[in-house]
Chains A and B, each alone.
Chain A
Amino acid sequence: MRILLVEDDRDVAGFVVKGLKEAGHVVEHTANGRDGLFLAASEAFDAIVLDRMLPGGVDGLRLLETLRSQGNATPVLFLSAMAQVDDRVRGLKAGGDDYMTKPFAFAELLARVEALTRRGKSEGPVTRLVVADLEMDLLSRGVKRAGQKVDLQPREFRLLEYLMRHAGQVVTRTMLLEGVWDYHFDPQTNVIDVHVSRLRQKVDKPFPTPLIHTVRNAGYMLREEAP
């Protein structure tokens, strides 16, 4: 995937560029807002990682607002030290698709960027999700694995749905908290792991191959073959 990074801190930018390249993405980097706007408007990217405070007279918010006013719908993830609730709200209102605050874990950033690019692609209503022999019918809210019916609680259903929609991608605990429980902070108690392990009991345990994998230091991933 082609990703544009607009970030003025050289160390942070170098770290992110290196990480994204290692994950197999093509990265363009610019350190100021005006160049960022020019690149974003003139070339096609799958996602943009954008800092809020930028030199060059065009800050992240203005860059994004200009881009959106031109009808450009490239998914944008804000990566900013501005961490207040109001800052986040402003960033999302301006057309941002996700908002991460510094300091951050690279695994989280990578997972979120990849989730964004996926979101950009799958347009149109989906009624059925399939991963390997696992099937989910979103209309009848039924789940089957290898033809066998799997009984899930409503929340387990939503958790599995989230994992299936991001199949093949790393999904972090924070993403699950936000996407499934609408939590916007990290509780001290590790509540997510327990729910995932319950889901595993129902979806993976009775079958020979597991689908839900734990990715060390990052989160979970639903995919067909073992790593």
Chain B
Amino acid sequence: MSGTPHVADPPDVGETPPDVGEALPTWSPRRHGRLGAFFGQAGVRFGMIYACLFGASSLALAAFLWWSTAGLLDRQTEAAILVDFQGLTERLAEGGVGNLIETIEQRIAGNIDDDAVYLLVDARMQRLAGNLERWPRGVAPDFDWTNLRIDRGGIRTLARVHHADLEGGLHLLVGRDVESRVQLRGIVADAMLWAAVIAVLLGTVGAMAVRGLFRATLADISATAIAVSAGDLTRRVKVTGHSDEFDLLAETINDMLDRIARLMEGVRQVSNAIAHDLRTPITRARMRLEDAATSARTEADLHQAIERAQADLDGIVAVFQALLRIAEIEAGARRSAFSRVDVAPMLSDMAELYEAAAEEAGQTLVARIPPQAMVFGDRDMIQQAVANLLDNAMKFSPPEGVIRLGAHVAGGSGSAGGVGAGVAAGTVEIVVADDGPGIPPQDRARASQRFFRGEAARSTPGSGLGLALVQAVAMLHGGTLRLEDNAPGLRAVLVLPVGDGANGAKTGEVA
């Protein structure tokens, strides 16, 4: 589509460097001239295709009409002549020349329409019977079929005649006056000529209409594309609501633009975040090193400062890695590696891994995990998402706090219990609940944004990326992350669609 010149006006195209012209030779106006550019337009091509189809079908229709009217009359005439001729030769065989002459005269007398032509001549071309005065002048007696101009009763008419030599040197000529039929044929031919003119007119008008329609339909798409490439990512193609192919195209393009806009927004957020949130730890590390360089008195001081700066840098690297990981997940490239995963044993492993750490901190981890919970996704990603939720829960739970890790398989969309994403194939809900300070309702929507840190989190270490990653993992799987009040504490529910193979991939696509 990028090749349609009405997207890029000829003056612009004229200034493109030659190698671009080489690459897209089909529409380069410089190569084909203005006429070439005109015919290069897809709209014009479609119009011409329409005109050709219209012309071809009109022609076929005309040919059939001709064959079934004028052609039919000719064929009927010739058939009648042949039957007549056959009858006469039979008479000759039955009763000789006399019988033949008699029959011819009878037939002439009985010919009410007065359109029959007979002539029987002997070997010297002398007339024996018939309604022609003599053998037509200038016609040698060696033809089979011909059209003759004849003079009958003072009127010159046209006749279709058949001739054959009979035994005894006789020549018999049988024909029909076809003047009226010729006239009819002329009328039909005239009508067809006019029809052809009308067809050409209609075809041209139709072709222009098709071209106009084509251009009008694409105009909005190309206008949107131009606006988007000029930087306006808010523009969308209008959907007419006919739910036809063009609507489908418009919706596909709009989906694509939505996705691009989301990714762009993500990039913008990340660069803002880097500008603001990474400046602080980098400044801290730099100051520490500078301070050590200028005012460290003992080697031990210096070592300590370097080690702390190193830890700061490790922290910065960790933030970078988390950011890149989120970006990687959001880009969606890993979706091709999705497979059927049973998250139950993985969750049990994680419960075991964190249980010890929780106990060490005086907390209790209670796990309630079903024997099996199949989802369609990436094991490592889900594992990391759950680990982030558990890290958060442990960080914010007070000593003696209880952390709950649970999972349950929700059947259809009805039993999913108010889940936003009503996935028909059912979902697996992974719940991590703590009894810490929780997240106030007004902050919940923002809690999964990058670098968001709630009031309660200000005094704890962390980057504000944990929930953003969980959210990205949920989105990639076509699921959701719900943050609820655990009264007290936070209840984070990671909802993942069960998705059976291809179905799962499709729900992922929707997200």
Contact = CB atoms under 8 A, between A and B. Distances in A.
Interface of A: 83-86, 89, 103, 105, 155, 181-191, 194-195, 197-198
B387 A194 contact: no
A188 B462 contact: yes
Contact of B349 (A83, A181, A190): A181
Contacts of B356: 191, 194-195, 198
Nearest to B379: A182
Contact of B353 (A84, A89, A188, A195): A195
A186 B463 CA distance: 14
A190 B466 CA distance: 16
A154 to B, nearest CB: 9
Interface string B368-386: 0000000000001001100
A127 to B, nearest CB: 26
Interface of B: 313-314, 317-318, 321, 324-325, 328, 333-334, 337, 349, 352-354, 356-357, 359-360, 380, 383-384, 387-388, 390-391, 394-395, 462, 466
A103 B352 CA distance: 30
A188 B386 CA distance: 12
Interface centre among B314, B383, B462 (most CB of A within 10 A): B383
B357 A194 contact: yes
Contacts of A184: 380
7 contacts: A84-B328, A85-B328, A183-B387, A187-B390, A187-B391, A189-B395, A194-B357
Given A89-B337, A188-B388, A191-B353, 14 more contacts: A85-B334, A86-B333, A86-B334, A182-B349, A183-B353, A185-B380, A186-B318, A187-B387, A188-B391, A188-B462, A190-B357, A195-B353, A195-B356, A198-B356
Contacts of B349: 181-182
B390 A189 contact: yes
Secondary structure at chain B's binding surface: helix, strand, loop or mixed? Answer: helix
A118 B333 CA distance: 35
Contacts of A194: 356-357, 359-360
A188 B353 CA distance: 13
Query: Which 8 pairs show the lowest CB-CB distances between chains A and B?
Result: A188-B391, A194-B356, A191-B357, A194-B357, A194-B360, A187-B387, A189-B391, A191-B353
B462 A185 contact: no
A188 B328 contact: no
Contacts of A186: 318
Contacts of B394: 189
Given A189-B354, A191-B354, A183 B383 contact: yes
A186 B391 CA distance: 11
A55 to B, nearest CB: 25
A48 to B, nearest CB: 25
Contacts of B360: 194, 197
Contacts of B352: 155
A94 to B, nearest CB: 17
A82 to B, nearest CB: 11
A221 B334 CA distance: 36
A181 B353 contact: yes
Nearest to A102: B317
Contacts of A191: 353-354, 356-357
Given A86-B333, A194-B360, A185 B384 contact: yes
Contacts of A86: 333-334
Which of A103, A189, A190, A195 has the largest count of B CB atoms less than 10 A from its CB?
A: A189
A149 B126 CA distance: 143
Contacts of B321: 83
Most chain B beta-carbon neighbours within 10 Å: one of A86, A188, A190: A188
A195 B356 CA distance: 7
Nearest to B317: A103
B326 to A, nearest CB: 12
Contacts of A198: 356
Nearest to A89: B337
A11 B446 CA distance: 42
B468 to A, nearest CB: 14
A184 to B, nearest CB: 5
Nearest to B318: A186
Contacts of B337: 89
A183 B318 CA distance: 16
B67 to A, nearest CB: 68
A183 B353 CA distance: 11
Contacts of B333: 86
A146 B345 CA distance: 35
A85 B317 CA distance: 17
Nearest to B466: A188
* Max chain B Cβ within 10 angstroms of own Cβ: one of A83, A85, A103, A186: A85
A183 B382 CA distance: 11
A186 B313 CA distance: 16
A52 to B, nearest CB: 16
